[in-house]
Amino acid sequence: MTGDIARLDAAFAAARAENRAALIGYLPAGFPDVDTGVRAMTAMLEGGCDAVEVGLPHSDPVLDGPVIQTADDIALRGGLRIKDVIRTVGEVQSRAAAPVLCMTYWNPVDRYGPERFAEDLAAAGGAGCILPDLPVEEAGPWRRAADKHGLATVFVVAPSSREQRLAAITAAGSGFVYAASLMGVTGTRESVGREAKDLVRRTRATEAVRAGLPVCVGLGVSTAAQAAEVAGFADGVIVGSAFVKRLLDAGDDREAGVAGVRALAGELAEGVRRRG
């Protein structure tokens, strides 16, 4: 079975047809447990997200702030394995019929085997993978496996990226390019900095983006107002920690947590439609 990159492309096309940005939600698999995670991600899509990123928690999440670190920790202490992450991708995809990506650090994929991981992710109906600590220069084995199995490879650009690297990164990527709104780790912020808009402007100047690769902004976006602001200059808005926080705040009340995720997705979906 081949991966679902086409469904990801279709989701961006549909948002564009509505003259709005796409909304992408993130939650780690296995948090607070595998089944609740599946329900929360499904709720996210039903609430208004156009795509979902399933996090594969890592023991050493150097790019994540305290909120996602806590969620990863809960998932791993609960005994989460890679096969559970793959199952999560499959269940969410089949329940919501939406593009489902995986986001993780490189070592779990390297250890599992890039070819095997791509094969299993594609078989579960995954649309692609985001590997923020895998630079383009080291990505050859993964990209070959991803291409073979019909998966998108989403690379990250940062405010510190110079033009030459923006060109190289966007040329190597597929699905979309993830523009980090600021220099820092994941987590909610009071405001979206000016850096984000400038980075998107510079990224749009690259050949790959001019040819149609969508630019999505993530890091620090948590409210409908911020989503609306980012939707004004980007093709997509990515929200992670704010969703995790809804589940964390609900504690043992799983139903309230899932409801909170659904409600936030609704608010953010309204935000990305506010523009124009």
Q: Catalytic pick from 4, 9, 50, 64?
A: 64
Q: How far is the CB of 164 from another protein (least distance, A)?
A: 11
CB of 221 to another protein, least distance (A): 17
Question: How far apart are alpha carbons 113 and 188 in whole angstroms?
Answer: 33
Annotated catalytic residue within 4, 9, 50, 53:
53
Closest CA to 22 of 185, 176, 171, 243: 176
Q: Which of 153, 157, 108, 156 is nearest to 126 (CA)?
A: 153
Residue number, 130 or 258, with CB nearest to another protein: 130
Of 26 and 155, the one with the shorter C-beta distance to another protein is 155
Residue with tokens 């609306």: 228
Complex with another protein: residue 12 or 112, whichever CB lies closer: 112
Interacting residues of 104 by C-beta distance below 8 A, sequence separation 6+: 55, 56, 57, 58, 85, 129, 130, 131
CA distance 117 to 107: 12
Q: Reply yes or no on whether 64 is catalytic.
A: yes
Task: Kindly state the smallest distance separating residue 40's Cβ from another protein, in Å.
Answer: 22
**Would you call 80 helix, strand, or coil by DSSP?**
coil
Phi, psi of 8 (to 5 degrees): -65, -45
Lookup: tokens for 213: 């690769």
- Minimum CB separation of residue 16 from another protein in Å reads 26
Cβ proximity to another protein: between 61 and 99 the closer is 61
Q: Output the smallest distance, CB 186 to another protein, in A.
A: 10
- Name every residue whose Cβ is closer than 8 Å to that of residue 225 and which is 6 or more positions away in sequence: 271
Structure tokens at 182: 């600021």
Please report the beta strands in 143-205, taking only residues with DSSP state E, as ranges in sequence order.
152-154, 156-157, 177-180
Given the complex with another protein, which of 107 and 267 has the nearer CB atom? 107
Binding site for another protein (CB under 8 A): 58-63, 65, 69, 73, 76, 81-82, 106-112, 132-135, 137-138, 155-162, 165, 169, 180, 183-185
Closest CA to 102 of 52, 143, 164: 52
Identify whether 4 is a catalytic site residue. no
Active site residues: 53, 64
